[in-house]
């Protein structure tokens, strides 16, 4: 909003220095600073408001005994997180970008579900909160919105061709590095005249491009490692399955298209898109539940999510930059660079909230914050096509989720078979198991942060270990 206003002023009056706002990195820094500043300036006021309204946490009596002293600590502090994400993003991101809008919707949508859950717990004195079925419906609804948007919206359809109807080239930086210049006319590829090549995405193995430049005919020979990229940027990938494809870790020059799973349907058919939407719904549900379950110790969910946000922010930046995407041999995602602004705001919000949530916590985020963060992380991973890496960089969420599933499943199995339920862990989720073993809460949190850092390093390593 503010970014677009400043860009308009610069365009209208050519104000010296205003050109700096076009740079993603500068706006990302502003978003992070604004986000952190909002938390630090208004955090205490929000906490005092929550105390005044008697919005306190109810502690389970069967949990770790040291948690009993936390009873009455203000909850629903996720309101602080949501505001610190939404406001800087609205100010510094390009709001005409569908990626940004989808992230804002995902964060708000899950935040509202979490708010309703906390409201019922606090004001209706119902410890169970919002019924599980309503939570699931909410997660399904968000997954459906994200899936339909990514399948149908033009911003998610891939790369626009750099050729016009007269075969005149409008090169980007990668094509310029390969020898193409503004105004070049493409005459033939590998000796085939252009009028014999079908429109749209073409054979990616072209080596020799015959062009006309200022009346002179010349050939550009493309190196083997550049052929796929040159073809994608020159001819475009628009509407050719880009929206349902994703990068596969540990495999070079290979993308997986969910359309392959619908083997009975025609390529780029409706069933492939339906399968992709179902996958999105599953990921949104799993990740949001994972963050929600992880939020059980002071600073745990905020710290882990902040580290994950740094990873996703870097991934978003390189995926939206044609040079970096080409160097790392990952899918270039047009217009995804603006996601970096959202990630910066998310990082600032997590760090700012940690100021008050670190042990001993002055405020808890509640489901308002944990579900909002889960929705943001899930949508982020999906739109930059890194969802297959979620089990790695979201490993803590994954293990927390898995520990609950194992505990419940094993208890029910043994109760049915032996008449008495048995447990794998002393208590689930797994962070409470370590508490029951006598490890201090702060040590568990810091170790989980360290594990997340290591997992994120492994995630970055997958870009080259292929």
Asked whether the predicted pLDDT for residue 201 surpasses 50, the reply is: no
**Each residue of 323-355: pLDDT tens digit?**
788 788 888 888 788 999 999 999 999 999 999
According to DSSP, the β-strands at 208-213 and 216-221 are antiparallel
Is residue 286 within a helix (H) or strand (E), and if so which, with residue range? helix 270-294
Distance, CA of 71 to CA of 60 (rounded, Å): 9
Whether 74 and 56 have beta carbons less than 8 Å apart is answered as yes
Q: Which residues are bridge partners to 109 per DSSP?
A: none
- Average pLDDT on 181-200 reads 79
Is the omega angle on the peptide bond into residue 429 within 30 degrees of 0, that is, cis?
A: yes
Give the count of beta carbons closer than 10 Å to the beta carbon of residue 144: 15
Closest CA to 371 of 276, 281, 286, 456: 286
Distance, CA of 178 to CA of 227 (rounded, Å): 10
**Each residue of 398-427: pLDDT tens digit?**
999 999 999 999 999 999 988 888 999 999
Asked whether the predicted pLDDT for residue 252 surpasses 60, the reply is: yes
DSSP labels for 346-399?
HHHHHHHHHHHHSSSPS---HHHHHHHHHHHHHHHHHHTT-GGGHHHHTHHHHH
Whether 83 and 58 have beta carbons less than 8 Å apart is answered as no
Distance, CA of 75 to CA of 47 (rounded, Å): 9
Domain chopping of the chain, boundaries: 31-157+274-387, 173-235
pTM greater than 0.75: yes
What distance separates the 2 farthest-apart alpha carbons in the chain?
88
Whole-number pLDDT of residue 354 = 97
**Each residue of 10-69: pLDDT tens digit?**
777 777 777 788 888 999 999 999 999 999 999 999 999 999 888 877 766 666 767 767
**CATH, domain range 173-235:** 2.30.42
Q: Which two tokens stand for residue 148?
A: 């339909």
Whole-number pLDDT of residue 200 = 44
Distance, CA of 288 to CA of 294 (rounded, Å): 10
Distance, CA of 35 to CA of 366 (rounded, Å): 19
């Amino acid at each position: 909003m503010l970014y677009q206003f400043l860009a308009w002023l610069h365009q209208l009056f050519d104000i010296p220095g205003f050109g700096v706002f076009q740079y993603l990195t500068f706006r990302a820094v502003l978003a992070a600073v604004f986000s952190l500043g909002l938390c630090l300036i208004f955090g205490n006021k929000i906490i005092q408001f929550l105390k005044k309204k008697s919005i306190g946490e109810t502690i389970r009596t069967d949990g770790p005994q040291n948690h009993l002293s936390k009873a009455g600590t203000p909850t629903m502090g996720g309101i602080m997180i949501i505001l610190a994400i939404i406001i800087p993003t609205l100010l510094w991101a390009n709001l005409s970008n569908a990626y940004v809008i989808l992230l804002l919707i995902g964060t708000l949508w899950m935040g509202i579900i979490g708010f309703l859950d906390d409201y019922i717990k606090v004001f209706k004195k119902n410890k169970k909160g919002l019924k599980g079925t309503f939570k699931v419906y909410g997660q399904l609804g968000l997954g459906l919105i994200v899936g339909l948007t990514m399948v149908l919206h033009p911003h998610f359809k891939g790369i626009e061709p750099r050729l016009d109807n007269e075969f005149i080239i409008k090169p980007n930086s990668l094509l310029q590095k390969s020898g193409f210049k503004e105004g070049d006319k493409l005459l033939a590829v590998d000796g085939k005249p252009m009028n014999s090549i079908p429109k749209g995405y073409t054979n990616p193995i072209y080596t020799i491009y015959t062009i006309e430049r200022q009346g002179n005919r010349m050939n550009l020979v493309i190196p083997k490692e550049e052929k796929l990229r040159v073809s994608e940027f020159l001819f475009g990938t628009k509407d050719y399955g880009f929206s349902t494809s994703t990068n596969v870790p540990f495999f070079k020059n290979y993308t997986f298209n969910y359309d392959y799973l619908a083997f009975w349907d025609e390529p780029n058919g409706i069933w492939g898109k339906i399968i992709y939407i179902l996958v999105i719904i599953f990921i949104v549900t799993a990740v949001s539940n994972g963050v929600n379950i992880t939020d059980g110790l002071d600073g745990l969910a905020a710290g882990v999510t902040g580290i994950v946000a740094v990873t996703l922010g870097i991934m978003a930046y390189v995926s939206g930059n044609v040079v970096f995407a080409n160097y790392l041999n990952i899918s270039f995602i047009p217009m995804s660079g603006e996601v970096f602004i959202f990630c910066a705001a998310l990082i600032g919000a997590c760090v700012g909230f940690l100021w008050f949530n670190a042990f001993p916590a002055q405020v808890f985020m509640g489901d308002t914050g944990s579900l909002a963060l889960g929705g943001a992380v899930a949508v982020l991973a999906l739109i930059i096509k890194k969802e297959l890496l979620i089990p790695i960089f979201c490993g803590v969420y994954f293990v927390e989720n898995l520990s609950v599933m194992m505990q419940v499943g094993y208890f029910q199995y043994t109760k049915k078979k032996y008449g008495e339920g048995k447990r794998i862990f002393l208590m689930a989720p797994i962070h409470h198991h370590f508490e029951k073993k006598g490890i201090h809460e702060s040590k568990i949190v810091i170790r989980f942060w360290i594990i997340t850092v290591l997992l994120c390093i492994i995630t970055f390593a997958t870009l080259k270990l292929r």
